[in-house]
Amino acid sequence: MRKKLLCIIFLFLLALGGCGAQDGNSHVPVAGEEIIPSNYAKEKNWMLLEEKGQKPADVFYLYPTSWARKDKKDYPVSTIQAKNMRKRARSVAASQARAFDMAGNLYAPYYRQVEAAFILDRDQEEQMAYYGGVPKTDVIAAFDYYIKHYNQGRPFLLVGHSQGAVMVKEILFDYMDKNPEVYKRMVAAYVIGFSVTEQELEEHPYLKFAEGPEDTGVIISYNTEAPGMTEKNPTVLPGAVCINPISWTRDETPASASENAGSLIKAEGREQKLEGFADARIDKERGTVICSTVDPAVYHSSDVEHFPLGIFHRFDFRFYYYNLKENAQVRVERFLEEWDGGR
């Protein structure tokens, strides 16, 4: 009886994803362990939820890392209720998710996250193991709940940035593999700020990477850097593939800043649309998008230890904001033109 009770308590702690009784030295669950997901029947666990779904397509959005410990002795995985994570997630979603609000009804769950400071110094295999633990458990549960209770058979976009992009990949590699009938309704997956690799595409041959501005059922992915970067970018993996977010092509032909539909940049104390701000060119050897018209000394991460000057990770969305906004609508329109309504 005592053993059964201890097992229940342990599973309860895993479900919480961290609490006052746990600290930075406690075990952090990894992929393959039994973890109880957060409850997505509770509306409070959704950041964005359009229950009636008036538009003909949906957008399922996953925010980037928004969780940071106040004390490094604290548990490195957030709870689902963590106030600072929720506040930061809402702030980021106000720009990122809203770039897609014309393309479809917005759905965005809160999900438990692994802190960046905990994970970025680890090798790729360890990182994927931790991402595949608590965060993946929540995201898969949230997406499954969305499909069964909110989607109503509509086409949908997947959108994520940074840790959110890793979670979109988990949906693509796991859920879509097991649910091909759902994958048929996917308009596109915007995996921004974390690499998709040639090896991953080979391992999941049902997936396709975008080749142009209008193809559907595809993955769109890129990471943005300044020219001449040689330092490690923690979000870029060996064999990374990407697409130019201005021209929507895969070759190395530069797209000028004048061709950019507009960036969303804070200037003069407010966020505003800037035209002619950011150019884009693919560097196939590095597997990134190069932006040469923006000063790295001005536009950089607060975490320069992991994201040195010249890595524009924070601005992957913002530099090409209106290109993403327009492209999402184009792909949805094309999908709806060709879709048979699931028949």
The structure's pTM equals 0.92
What pLDDT shows up at residue 24?
A: 60
Contact between residue 77 and residue 134 where contact means Cβ atoms under 8 Å apart: yes
- Residue 138: burial class (beta carbons within 10 Å; 0-12, 13-18, 19+): buried
**Which residue type occupies 136?**
K
How many other C-beta atoms are found inside a 10 Å radius of the C-beta of residue 230? 7
- H and E: helices and strands count for the chain: 10, 14
Rounded average pLDDT over 196-219: 98
Is pLDDT at 2 greater than 70 in this prediction?
no
Q: Which residue has the tokens 């965060």?
A: 135
Q: What is the 3-state secondary structure (H, E, C) of 62-94?
A: ECCCCCCCCCCCCCCECCCCCHHHHHHHHHHHC
Answer with the residue of higher pLDDT: 341 or 237. 237
Query: In 3-state terms, what secondary structure has residue 115?
Result: coil
Contact between residue 159 and residue 190 where contact means Cβ atoms under 8 Å apart: yes
d(CA 317, CA 146): 25
Q: Say how many CA atoms lie within 13 Å of 20 toward its Cβ.
A: 0
Rounded average pLDDT over 237-256: 98
Handedness of CA 37, 106, 211, 333 (dihedral sign): positive
Nearest to 40 by CA among 112, 104, 106, 130: 112
Percentage of the chain modeled with pLDDT above 90: 82
Handedness of CA 69, 225, 166, 287 (dihedral sign): negative
d(CA 5, CA 21): 17
Q: Packing angle between helix 163-170 and helix 124-131, nearest 10 degrees?
A: 70
Is pLDDT at 223 greater than 90 in this prediction?
yes
| Lowest mean pLDDT segment, chosen from 6-20, 24-38, 111-125, 148-162 | 6-20
Rounded average pLDDT over 335-340: 92
What pLDDT shows up at residue 1?
A: 46
Is pLDDT at 278 greater than 90 in this prediction?
yes
What pLDDT shows up at residue 74?
A: 87
Q: Kindly report the backbone phi and psi dihedral angles of residue 282, in degrees, each rounded to the nearest multiple of 5, phi listed first.
A: -80, 135
What pLDDT shows up at residue 13?
A: 44
What pLDDT shows up at residue 206?
A: 97
Contact between residue 283 and residue 312 where contact means Cβ atoms under 8 Å apart: no
d(CA 96, CA 275): 18
- Per-residue pLDDT band at 342 (split at 50, 70, 90): low
What pLDDT shows up at residue 23?
A: 60
Rounded average pLDDT over 266-294: 94
Angle formed at CA 69 by CA 76 and CA 14, multiple of 5 degrees: 30
Contact between residue 342 and residue 186 where contact means Cβ atoms under 8 Å apart: no
What pLDDT shows up at residue 25?
A: 60
φ/ψ bin of 294: left (φ > 0), alpha (ψ from -120 to 50), beta (otherwise): beta
Query: In 3-state terms, what secondary structure has residue 128?
Result: helix
Nearest to 212 by CA among 236, 194, 188: 188
Angle formed at CA 310 by CA 309 and CA 315, multiple of 5 degrees: 100
Angle formed at CA 85 by CA 80 and CA 88, multiple of 5 degrees: 145
pLDDT one-digit tens code per residue, 157-203: 999 999 999 999 999 999 999 999 999 999 999 999 999 999 999 99
pLDDT one-digit tens code per residue, 36-52: 999 999 999 999 999 88
Gyration radius of the chain's alpha carbons? 20
